Structure 1
Amino acid sequence: MALHGIKTNLLTSAAVAIGSVSTAVIGLVATADDADAATFPLDTPVLVPVRSAMAKAGSTGTLHAALTAIAEIATPQVVVVRVASAAEGGDQDTAVLGTAAGNAYKGMQALLTAEAKTGVKPRILGAPGLDTQAVTNGLVAIAKKLRGFVYAMAQGNDAASAITYRAQFGDRELMLFWPATSKGPTDTIARALAQRAYIDQAQGWQKTISNVVVTGITGMSHDVSWSMDDDTTDAALLNAADITTIICYSGYRFWGNHTTSSEPSWLFESAVRTSQVLQDEFQRGLFWAMDKPITAGLIKDMISTVNARLRKLVVNNQLIGGRCWYDPDKNASSDLAAGQLALDYDFTACAPLEGLTENQTITDTYYADLSSQISSTGATSGT
């Protein structure tokens, strides 16, 4: 029946708050032939509570050692993909790299199905003790799809060979480490993964992994010279080559901020992860707008939504600045009519204070007031 009167529909048209995404989720690829198969099925991503899972991680391979190192630093969410150990003399890389044929994801490829199977997306990726050059490249390819970041060892028996090895990479989603801790490469990268998750939880993704005490390191596999004001030390040379190292200064610390990117804009780990977080937050935060009619009101609401989030990140000291806008030149009438809209936004990430210059000057200026200071105490002659 038609209404004879006035009916009011309650409609909403306004900016919608964008929430944060969880970044402190580790994606760990490991071996352990004697692990509990129910807890750690092969080639399957499983979300595990770190401490209780250690008891079922077996003692062979890399899994137990990695979980032990992680647990000493933090208790983040950890998605584990257990891969088969290669037979003696076999090719371990093949099992780690895995395949994605016929919608059956094996090896590290299973990380791509983690969000669907576990409800969380791994963003801090590593294969401690297994990260050969081929494996590292494979992880980087997965990181690009997940908007994650890879932490891996730089292979080499000395700093020079590690620097040579680093030249094989040019991706922004990768940070290399050298040397190992005294417990070996598995321990090193596992602690890097845990440290990254710990910093995300304690300070935020805008803080790099560098210069925070790492719990549990008791020594290093190789000596590394370091001084705060000397750019010829081992640590300085490694950092200049975009390799993060370990120093001992009021505790052991990772020392280095660089990715392996060949583009200066993505030199810092913090810049890359800021970019990744913004992409994820805005995509998820604008989901409500998908399939709504394209109108001026909708576009304004979307822009307001993004700008509100950018302002909040600036207030929280997670971003220096940013802005979202509509560019008419990028939105032809035919595109809009076809349901395609383009919005632009920019941002300035927080750069780490990597270098500080102090200018020291010796002067006699402060002697000028010396007589009056002495006179005020009654210690001059004639008083």
Structure 2
Amino acid sequence: MSLTDFLHGVETVVVDSGPRPIQTVRSSVIGLIGTAPEANEVAFPLDFPVLVNRRQAAAMIGKTGTLPQAIDAIYDQGGALIVVIRVADAEQENAQLSKVIGGVDAETGAFTGVHVLRAAEAECGVAPMIFIAPGFTHQRPIGVSGHTVTAQGNGYTHAEVTFTGGGVGAVLPSATVILTNGKVTGLDFTSLGYGIVSPVTAQISGDGVGAAISIQTGASANPVVGELKQLADAMKAHIIADGPATTDSAAFSYRNDHGTRRVYIVDPKVSGWSVKTNTYAIEPASPRVAGLIARVDNVSGFWESPSNKEVYGMGGISRPIDYAYGDKNSRANILNENQIATFIRDDGWYLWGNRTCSADEKFAFLSVSRTADMIDISIAKAHRWAVDRSITKNYLDDVTASVKAYMRQLKTKGAILGGDCWVDPEFNTEADITQGHVTFSYDFTPPYPAERVTFRSHLVSDYIRNLFA
């Protein structure tokens, strides 16, 4: 509109400025990956995300495979949105893990396995924030545990490594060669492989000569969890990983495979009622924990810890976990001390444990990590309107006002203790603005769970005088 245009009459000018409301994204959508050989192919096609919002929507999933029992366990906890990804069934475990991991179909270019989670928002309208693959995250398959350069060789300007051996069904590792001054000084592994049952040999090829490397194998990190980590980072989601459910030592080894806030380990397995066998059956715990998180989110909010909340539908656990108030040496406390959540029985079965596998103490608590994610995603999604607008004083004020209002709303709900938003001149120089780059800064403080409550007991004689008052 130009004010110099001639008009004899009345016109309306729409002023499209001012702050916009920010809506928090759904925090408890569950991404579930598994098998269901008897599923209806139309209702649940292979390697395609299907949104399930209630038990009835999963009626055609069948009764075999890992998906039916997992869906039942989730809905035992209450209502939830589940993005179900069905992968093909395989007889051999290594082949099954590969189908769950998936990738990109060479012929169609479509995602397969866990990577279908990337397409969930486009196909289902919601983005999963909790990842589970029950039955496929507890293993620590044999893979590469180390390597030794036995001869560095010389004259290399480029080199490649080829792996052979490993046995039938093994998935061999992949790596790039590290060169220093024409010599081979090591390997940078992009995958450690898994399912290895015989020695693995590394062959160096290139324009140099004389390099040789020996490969050591041993129990390695779960490949499904390893594949999910990159997706969890990109989608700001969390993986509920089932521990080995065998011994404390095995659980500790499993825990040491991970150092990210994106992984939350639960151990051991639990028992739930099976409609197939008409009795209690041992099953992975991750579906019940995921369903519990969804229930807590819906009832209390995403900022509330799922720990010390009753898990519905549990008949017991697969190995004894002792717990006593104030006992630092109980098995439950030792597992929690090592960032492994477990279950205790005290007027019902309760999830017990707050901590992720984060190497950064700032994100040690699951509820804190999820709160930070929800705020970051919600603010980013709500400001697409701000892209490509003219950078003016009113524009800066509108965006900061939107975020400030959102922080006030979260504080009122108890989701944060406080928060603010501002424009920092240090990050908005003339050079930045002329390149169309504007930066807004915000901060917030999430509430922390009262993981340790201490009562200081004093035995005194002061109140004896009351006897004679």
Q: TM-score range by the shorter chain?
A: over 0.9
Could you tell me how far apart the structure 2 residues matched to 1:40 and 1:48 are? 10
Change (3 A) 1:285 1:54: closer
2:3 is the counterpart of 1:15? no
Structural RMSD (CA): 1.7
Corresponding residue for residue 153 of structure 1: 242
| 1:187-217 C-alpha deviation (Å, 9 max, x unpaired) | 4111011111111111110011101111101
2:192 is the counterpart of 1:95? no
Contact persistence 2:61–2:68 (CA under 8 A): yes
By how many angstroms is 1:369 displaced? 3.1
Change (3 A) 1:174 1:185: farther
Q: Map 1:313-352 to 2 at 5 A.
A: 313-352=410-449
Could you tell me how far apart the structure 1 residues matched to 2:23 and 2:58 are? 33
Change (3 A) 1:100 1:85: same
Corresponding residue for residue 145 of structure 2: none
Length-normalised TM-score, structure 2: 0.77
Amino acid at match of 1:177: V
Could you tell me how far apart the structure 2 residues matched to 1:30 and 1:185 are? 17
Amino acid at match of 2:348: G
Corresponding residue for residue 355 of structure 1: 452
Query: SS at the partner of 1:213?
Result: coil
Query: SS at the partner of 2:433?
Result: helix
Instruction: Return the match for 2:251 from 150, 158, 162.
Output: 162
Contact persistence 1:50–1:67 (CA under 8 A): no
Could you tell me how far apart the structure 2 residues matched to 1:90 and 1:247 are? 33
By how many angstroms is 1:7 displaced? 5.4
Corresponding residue for residue 302 of structure 2: 205
2:75 is the counterpart of 1:71? yes
Contact persistence 1:48–1:79 (CA under 8 A): yes
Corresponding residue for residue 127 of structure 2: 121
Instruction: Return the match for 2:228 from 128, 135, 139.
Output: 139
Length-normalised TM-score, structure 1: 0.93
Query: SS at the partner of 1:244?
Result: strand
Instruction: Return the match for 1:292 from 389, 395, 399.
Output: 389
* Higher share in strand: 2
Unpaired stretches in structure 1, ≥5 consecutive residues = 373-383
* Higher share in helix: 1
Q: Following TM superposition, where does structure 1 have runs of at least 4 consecutive aligned residues deviating by more than 6 angstroms? A: none
Corresponding residue for residue 376 of structure 1: none
Corresponding residue for residue 380 of structure 1: none
Change (3 A) 1:343 1:157: same
By how many angstroms is 1:13 displaced? 2.4
Unpaired stretches in structure 2, ≥5 consecutive residues = 140-221, 273-280
Change (3 A) 1:345 1:185: farther
Could you tell me how far apart the structure 2 residues matched to 1:57 and 1:7 are? 59
Amino acid at match of 1:361: H
By how many angstroms is 1:339 displaced? 0.7
2:248 is the counterpart of 1:178? no
Could you tell me how far apart the structure 2 residues matched to 1:136 and 1:49 are? 25
Q: Map 1:185-196 to 2 at 5 A.
A: 186-196=283-293
By how many angstroms is 1:47 displaced? 0.5
